[in-house]
A and B are shown apart, each in its own frame.
Chain A
Amino acid sequence: MLNINDLHARVEDTAILHGLNLEVKPGEVHAIMGPNGAGKSTLGNVLSGRPGYEVTGGTVTYKGQNLLELEAEERARAGIFLAFQYPVEIPGVSNMEFLKASVDAIRSARGEEAMSSMDFIKLAREKCKAVDLPADFLKRGVNEGFSGGEKKRNELLQMMLLEPSLCILDETDSGLDIDALQVVARGVNELRSPDRGIIVVTHYQRLLDYIVPDYVHVLAKGRIVKSGGRELALELEKHGYSWIDEEVA
């Protein structure tokens, strides 16, 4: 589904990724861990086509096509979803209006008919329940005045509505208390399916107690320096990232 080969990228004048390799197959959950400044968020931003992130080398193939040629909205329509670490507010635009515009755009790209407003409202309410958000959230401005936990659950709500093929969760656990963390994890686990790939970017192994990954990768200095199974995350928790640094050096 996703093939990243020797990816180099920079933000403004700072090179951040230095030859990153990663393969994600449908049905797999990959956890990317690593110290601050390793390039974890950059990976999600590059894959989703955020302006300001420049790819300086390497290739990314997604479902057989060159992902790097696509505009951000084309990538989204092709099924790539980034759950933001810091979701931004859009004052005055109701969550409902935003979600409908988003679902309409993505359905139309898939060649599906637009949903009727009634059907959409019904579906949106259902998904709200799944992420433990009251339905009146749909009437509020996008992320406007939401708490940190509400913003993250709102990201999850969007993910559930859009049903992407590749989900990238960028430190979705940061700033969440244990209850909110469980809600988010439950939502992600519900989305696990044989035709969907999931990349969970996180600093802490805590989240992985709830979302159990198939693979764990350690990202340091812009490269994946170690890959393994679930047990690698536990080792990291025990020994910290300095252990990796020594091993890489």
Chain B
Amino acid sequence: MSENIDQYLKSEYSAGWITDIESLTIPPGLNEDVIRLISAKKQEPEWMLEWRLKAYRAWLDMKEPEWAHVVYPKPDFQALSYYSSPKSMEDGPQSLDEVDPELLRTYEKLGIPVHEQEVLAGVAVDMVFDSVSVGTTFRQKLKDAGVIFCPISEAVHEYPELVQKYLGSVVPQKDNFYAALNSAVFSDGSFVYIPKGVRCPMELSTYFRINEAKTGQFERTLIIADERSQVSYLEGCTAPMRDENQLHAAVVELVALDDADIKYSTVQNWYPGDAQGKGGIYNFVTKRGIAHTRAKISWTQVETGSAVTWKYPSCILKGDDSIGEFYSVALTSNYQQADTGTKMIHLGKNTRSTIIAKGISAKHSSNSYRGLVKMNPGAEGARNYTQCDSLLIGDQCGAHTFPYIESKNPTAVVEHEATTSKVSDDQMFLCQQRGIDAEKAVSMIVNGFCKDVFRELPMEFAVEAGKLLEVSLEGAVG
């Protein structure tokens, strides 16, 4: 059976082409001058530069984390370029009509709706290409509702009081090695502010694309949902196929004030490397949200890409009765390695969290779930439910579960369930005996396994995610 499986596991990465566009890329290397240069390119105010430098100085004393269940050659931070921008974007922000058509074609080719009149018009998109945002749709419509959705580089100028108040408030500069690096060199990303009592009229999304070689992407996303507001945000990512590994170290911060509701969905499809494990993105990301009284933060992620993933979207349940959710599908194939999971930090009374994590490993890949549930002394009556399932395809892959539970309140309840299963020969044969070919059978079985998570995704994304799994599993079984 495993031989049959192997012969099918030869996934084709469809987003692997390169946009031929002239870029301005600063020379490789990292020092204070580089940070000053990035800051100057964005014409940032002094406080922003100081904030970056503080992060950089902290980073110099920090060590790369080694506790994750992944093995990879350490990136050479002096060999990377920290800023790359399409030349046509050098003259500062433009309206959507003035954006280089070649750039827009890049997103169209990836299936992203870049024109506001398109059918899939229920989604506003911010397009981040290498280090800069190249365009954001529906800004006016959103503005009419009082919603701010713009590149973070622009927010630094336009909404400095919000940025200063919240940037680093959930993920401090010194939080961890990669968060510190990101804080020092972050180039662009999205900024969202939903005012009090406003339900965001459409889905917001950011589409990240790494194009240039030998660059890293360090985006920063900050979403603030003011009291009683509601927003659903989607994020997608792809990169060309390149032989060398590229670094993507992002930071996402969510702030849900009293009674606010943030739903954050990710479909991560960075280039995973080839069948021999050459190339691919190192995806080292810090995502965290803070939920105030009765607020809710929900993370849903479908992770199919990247050579190495290190990512734990987390919730700090600060306010009483706040809710945190984490729904995850992580699929690894070939030589991909993923160490992903979440942290639910219960501070307030009657806080609740749900974790549903589905790991699928195929070929030679390694897939780890790592999750922390922490009940602080004040978390009176708090509850957590964790369900963590692993599905193995073939017999060369590995699945690991590292649950950490710390409970300092005797009234808190923590439940943890875990299963490991295989796509069995009997299931495959049942499908084949009913005329269904092996590939379709695997994708059906895997989709069934992921059902609990897919139903949490916004509709368009759920379909997308199903297709993505199918492509990633192409050739997975026989």
Contact = CB atoms under 8 A, between A and B. Distances in A.
Q: Do A and B come from one complex?
A: yes
Interface of A: 48-52, 71-73, 75-77, 81-82, 84, 87-94, 97-98, 101-102, 105-106, 109, 141-142, 158, 162
B447 A76 contact: no
B448 A72 contact: no
Contacts of A48: 433
Contacts of A76: 432-435
B425 A90 contact: no
Contacts of A92: 447-452
B390 to A, nearest CB: 13
B445 interface: yes
A72 B433 contact: yes
Contact of B435 (A51, A88, A106): A106
A92 B466 CA distance: 13
B388 interface: no
Contacts of B436: 73, 101-102, 105
B432 A71 contact: yes
For the side of the interface on B, what is the size category? 20 to 34
Contacts of B434: 76, 98, 101-102, 105-106, 158, 162
Contact of B445 (A50, A73, A90, A158): A90
Given A52-B425, A141-B448, A90 B430 contact: yes
Contact of B424 (A50, A88, A97): A88
B406 interface: no
B425 A51 contact: yes
Contacts of A109: 435
A244 to B, nearest CB: 30
B389 to A, nearest CB: 9
Nearest to B419: A91
A105 B429 contact: no
A207 to B, nearest CB: 21
A163 to B, nearest CB: 12
B429 A72 contact: yes
Given A87-B430, A88-B426, A90-B430, A73 B437 contact: yes
Nearest to A73: B432
B440 A101 contact: yes
Nearest to B428: A51
Given A49-B432, A52-B425, A88-B426, 19 more contacts: A51-B429, A71-B432, A73-B433, A73-B437, A75-B433, A76-B433, A76-B434, A90-B445, A90-B448, A92-B451, A93-B447, A93-B448, A97-B444, A101-B440, A102-B431, A102-B434, A105-B435, A106-B434, A162-B435
B448 A91 contact: yes
A72 B429 CA distance: 8
Contacts of B449: 91-92
B426 A73 contact: no
19 contacts: A50-B429, A51-B1, A72-B429, A72-B432, A72-B433, A73-B438, A75-B433, A76-B435, A81-B433, A88-B427, A88-B430, A89-B427, A90-B445, A91-B448, A92-B448, A92-B450, A101-B444, A105-B440, A158-B434
